[in-house]
Amino acid sequence: MTDARADALPPASPLDQDFSRPGRKPGGRSGWRLVRGAWRLLVGIKDFLVLAAMLLFFGLIFAALNARPGTKAITDGALLLKLDGPIVEQPETIAPLAMLSGGSVPHQYRLRDLVRAIDAAKDDGRVKVLVLDLDAFGGAYPAALQEVGNAIQRFRKGGKPVLAYATAYTDGAYRLAANASEIWVNPLGGTLFTGPGGNQLYYKGLIDKLGVTTHVYRVGKFKSFVEPYIRADQSPDARAASQALYGTLFAQWRESVAQARPKAQLDSFLTQPDRAVLASNGNIADANLKAGLVDKLGDKLAFGKRVAEIAGAEANKPAGSFRTISYAAWVKANPLPTKGDAIGVLTIAGNIVDGEAGPGTAAGETVSKALLDGLAEKKLKALVVRVDSPGGSVLASEQIRQAILEAKRQKLPVIVSMGGLAASGGYWVSTPADLIFAEPGTITGSIGIFGIIPTFENTLAKIGVTTDGVKTTPLTGQPDVLSGTTPMLDTILQAGIENGYRQFLSRVAEARHMTPEKVDTIAQGRVWDGGTARQIGLVDRFGTLSDAIAEAARRAKLDPAKVHAEYLEKKPGFAAMLAEGFDSDDDSQQGGDVFAIAAAERRAIAARALGDVARLARGGSVQARCLECGALGPVGTSSDERLLDLLIAKLGY
């Protein structure tokens, strides 16, 4: 009866028919059920893709409708710099589906845009006051902090006030706030200073427990990037180098803050902060006020009312609102100049990797193509290479260097402008320069290379797994991650690393007019601050990107006032530009007190360490990378944060 009723109903689809019955196509009921299941799976996939496409379509329309047009009229008010993210040389591309997935879009602020915005506001009568909201500041390298701080000082010298606010300031945030005419802190917050440095993760104990054998091939006694994988603590050489680097950068921080706020009792708060806090009965904010580190105690409401006294209050808005000029609208209203001869600016920002990648990562193929296309199409008169990178793949670094050499073969002056960081591979790509600019706080050097291969023979032995096979040559199957490397392979790989180091030395020696032996004494993987780097000959002059562009123009026999920078960067796609429309100036990202800041910084260290492991595993080539650099700059990339979130989710926390 069941079969009769089924035959009386029309089939849902041709694939729902049972061809195993008499008179129908043979094939068997079970086989046809498999085909029918596959068909339904395909239909389900099709429906899902249609739904996803519709969500993306309507999401992008929403973004476009909410995007703030650059033609929006700028009215009088306060220019609000709500720096709820890091200051970087080249922001990462916003993923089109980032907001549709329910997550927040991480904010990153391009250094040159930020400086241009502040300088443009200095002489514009519509801007009554500059407001620094540093409640969720994401950090920056020392050189970038100094450049933004200098721009804030120029704004103040124009006769306008600068007001800064945070619940608690990080060291980097305070370096910016110190330049303000009024520094506010939340009465329930308060600020403590930590200085550069701190502990980092070492994986040797875990590696030994897992039975993993780490084969390290390196040159340079200061090349400490590999130490977490082969040691349980910091080597004496690496410790001495880090102490010198961190000490110099901390001295620069203290000098910068002291110059901006000469009456502040900074030294006592740095050396014996416990006494200052106990003298205020544990009230950190009050201790800050007594030490002259801040000018006012007040919450966001009180701060907003103070700004409104200068910029004007917003009609029909809650108390604490003030007339605001949004940063995004201001940047769009003050675009880069386009008149005059073109000076090409090639940005090498982020980790140097093989292949292609979007902005914020210096992919060898992407960066070299951008330069070669620019040389062919842009009628460039000179080239400035802006470097802000801790290094990475030697192969990609050399690919980029060869593209820069093509500019020299075309008789273009080549000037390198080092940003916050130009170390290891970042220095490798700088060697073709006619002249190198840096800042005293620039982190550079780290001339050395390494390679790492993990093998798992001991791990497998713990679970009773062995390997065997036939080998036709001494190198058959090598490097064998299952049964280990051979002494012959180790010898060959170490020789290759040493040859790569000699090439590094020779490139630097030729560029800096030294002997390889002289370079070796200042290389060995050691990281230097910009001031010391200039003294030992790795850098020629102090100066910003603007100084480098002006020098490039002069060497091309052009008037620096009559040129413009032509940035040779991969442009974001249409979907990525629309995704920027989701960005807003709301208060979705808030800061916290001293405890919250400490927790956030520790999380950032964990994310960065996890990211370093992932980058090392994906590297697939000889590396020229700097370990110390990560502890001195922004809190980490959004990809590092996502990786940490994924790990936490997998662990069930």
Mind telling me the catalytic residues?
A: 223, 424
Q: Are strands 127-133 and 77-82 parallel, antiparallel or unpaired?
A: parallel
Structure tokens at 408: 């020299």
d(CA 241, CA 57): 53
3-state DSSP call for residue 226? Answer: helix
d(CA 351, CA 356): 12
d(CA 439, CA 92): 24
Judged by phi (left if over 0) then psi (alpha if -120 to 50, else beta), residue 230 lies in alpha
d(CA 411, CA 381): 9
List residues bridging with 110 in a β-sheet: 88
Helix (H) or strand (E) holding 487: helix 487-512
CB 131 within 8 A of CB 180: no
Q: Which residues contact 614 (CB under 8 A, 6 or more apart)?
A: 643
Instruction: Kindly report the three-state secondary structure assignment for every residue of 589-602.
Output: CCCCCHHHHHHHHH
Structure tokens at 514: 């030294």
d(CA 224, CA 527): 10
Tell me how far CA of residue 536 lies from CA of 166, 222, 436, 512, 529, in angstroms. 40, 17, 13, 10, 11
Q: Which residues contact 447 (CB under 8 A, 6 or more apart)?
A: 220, 424, 427, 504, 505, 508, 519, 522, 523, 524, 525, 526
Structure tokens at 133: 């909201």
Structure tokens at 537: 């000959």
